[in-house]
Structure 1
Amino acid sequence: MITLVTGSNGQLGKTIQSIVKNKSEFIFTDINSLDITKKEKIESVITSHDINCIVNCAAYTDVDGAEIEKEKADELNDNAIKNLVEISETYKLRLIHISTDYVYNGINKSAISEYEYVNPQNYYGVSKLNGEKHIENSISESIVIRTSWLYSSFGKNFVKTIIENSKDKDLLKIVGDQYGCPTNAYDLANAIIQIIKSKDRFDKESKIYNFSNLGYTSWFEFAKFIIKEINIKCRIEEIKTNEISQLSKRPKFAITNKTKIISAFNLKIPDWKESLMKFLKKI
């Protein structure tokens, strides 16, 4: 049986590719090899291979861009998910869809469970939430994994940006009043593989799960920890959100509770500092 991974050119997709031991059990596609906004394209891949699971890593992820390109965000974050759900129902496939903490309201200062009220503060979050609804209403064996502050050795992300900028600049100004949970793509990829291998059926009444590394931090403290660990002499100044220009609103507090996914799939999730230290030692 084969798992189809869409969006494999992104951080998570590339990380999954880098750690799977038996490549013959996976098919990795990107926008060029599989456009998931075209249902017939998905169906063609499914019927050509012995696929039993889809992991959807494809998404429109430009948070500010979504405010301008709403149709593009809807096409990939909403309509494409409808296609995947319909295909998974028709062919009785498992579906694991990656979503975001941006669906939450960003107000709660305590850890947010999957049962909390959702109220996205920007259009990116709206489009991702609309995509989730197709899975929530589906009869297929499908789940949503909401993740946050993803980083890896691939593509662009906060950790790589801080490392690169700290080498070229004497001072970095970083927002200190936004709090969230960093996620090492390696840990999420391993969790997904463990979920794929699970022989227990997905609970059709419990489709939403939070995943990130344990603990939380602010962007400022996150950057401060990175600079300290890589031992680069660069000053960091803490600033407020209202001091920077961003087209879309970001959640102030997106601290998620991971108890549900740990219990459901028997996962072991490392603390964000522990995981980040291991990551920094390898790059």
Structure 2
Amino acid sequence: MKNVLVTGCNGQLGSELHNLASKYPKINFFFKAKDLDITNKAIIENYLKKNKINFIINTAAYTNVNDSEIEKQKTDLVNEKGVKNLVELSEKYNCKLIHYSTDYVYNGENKTPLDEKSSTKPLNYYGISKREGEKHIENSSCESIIIRTSWLYSNFGNNFVNAIIKKVQNKEKINVVKDQFGCPTNAKDLAFDTINILNSEIKLDKYGKIYNYSNLGYTSWSNFAKKIIEFLNIEYEIQEVSTEFFKSNVIRPKYSITNKNKIVNTFNLNIPHWEKSLKTYLTNFQL
């Protein structure tokens, strides 16, 4: 029996893991959110003293990209210091650690799919904070991995898919950038494959600590929006615009298409194409 602590379980990924947990009776999941603040090391340590935890899955993060530029201290507290706390305590209590990061650690200048060895140079403070958190794991002695994911969506919380649906419901005009490219990720698929990784007999970081994960294939934000409309089986205009259309102080990468071969081959995963996964997600969705 594996004892698995999931932090940040009120978010998209944590919620999907919670939904799947009952299907895996040989894994004893502990879901902790507000009562286990990863920025408070003493609280985490007290919990680990009282409970024999084999794995920590850290889904906790400060993910508001726009607000990160303003609330830098708060962003650092969760995305960097919180990860540092988990790393140090994982080493002390012999826990294996799975942590999630973002495609925003890349600089967006590539023209070919990014692999785990591609250089990192974040363009915004959210990406900077996530990269700093990654460094603690890369330098750690505990068995641990970083899963870099992108364009996450689910039934829970704020995300691009839900935002498009809300605009349709409110009959709002929809403008979407056409010149930023990346890979959508259904949080349910990532949660499912996280459990597959947990159940794998392979040492987590046997081939290094960094892995890319998203659904297969790639798209632009505007085409992503068009596919949402198509799979909802409705007609609605999507206005394609350039990045410059939106006046923003936050720079986002124009190219963050990632190569998933490493995680697929290491853990023998069968990741669905993003269009297939999106269509499944929207099946029977009622506007």
Which residue is equivalent to 2:235? 233
Per-residue deviation at 1:282?
A: 4.7
Which residue is equivalent to 1:15? 16
Q: Show CA shifts across 1:49-102 (max 9, x none).
A: 121000000001010111111111111000111110001111111000010000
Per-residue deviation at 1:22?
A: 4.2
* Amino acid aligned to 1:69: E
Per-residue deviation at 1:205?
A: 5.6
2:46 is the counterpart of 1:27: no
CA contact (8 A) 1:139 1:204 kept: no
Secondary structure in structure 1 of the residue aligned to 2:80: helix
Which residue is equivalent to 1:117? 119
Distance 1:270 1:66 in 2: 31
Per-residue deviation at 1:245?
A: 2.1
Q: Show CA shifts across 1:173-193 (max 9, x none).
A: 111111000000011001100
Unaligned runs of 5+ in 1: none
Which residue is equivalent to 2:104? 102
* Amino acid aligned to 1:70: K
How many residues of Structure 1 are paired with residues of Structure 2 in the alignment? 282
Distance 1:62 1:171 in 2: 23
Distance 2:284 2:247 in 1: 33
Distance 1:198 1:47 in 2: 26
Q: Show CA shifts across 1:154-187 (max 9, x none).
A: 1111111111211222631111111000000011
Which residue is equivalent to 2:185? 183
- If the length of structure 1 is used for normalisation, what is the TM-score? 0.97
Which residue is equivalent to 2:274? 272
Unaligned runs of 5+ in 2: none
Moved over 6 A (4+): none
RMSD of aligned Cα (Å) = 1.2
Identity between Structure 1 and Structure 2 (%): 52
Q: How does 1:165-184 map to 2 (within 5 A)?
A: 165-169=167-171, 171-184=173-186
Which residue is equivalent to 1:67? 69
Distance 2:166 2:35 in 1: 32
Distance 2:284 2:53 in 1: 34
* Amino acid aligned to 2:31: F
Secondary structure in structure 2 of the residue aligned to 1:51: coil
Which residue is equivalent to 1:161? 163
Q: Show CA shifts across 1:233-280 (max 9, x none).
A: 211110001010223100000000000001111111000000000000
CA contact (8 A) 1:198 1:265 kept: yes
Distance 2:71 2:231 in 1: 38
CA contact (8 A) 1:36 1:80 kept: yes
CA contact (8 A) 1:166 1:232 kept: no
Per-residue deviation at 1:203?
A: 2.6
* Amino acid aligned to 1:53: F
CA contact (8 A) 1:140 1:204 kept: no
Which residue is equivalent to 2:6? 5
Secondary structure in structure 2 of the residue aligned to 1:71: helix
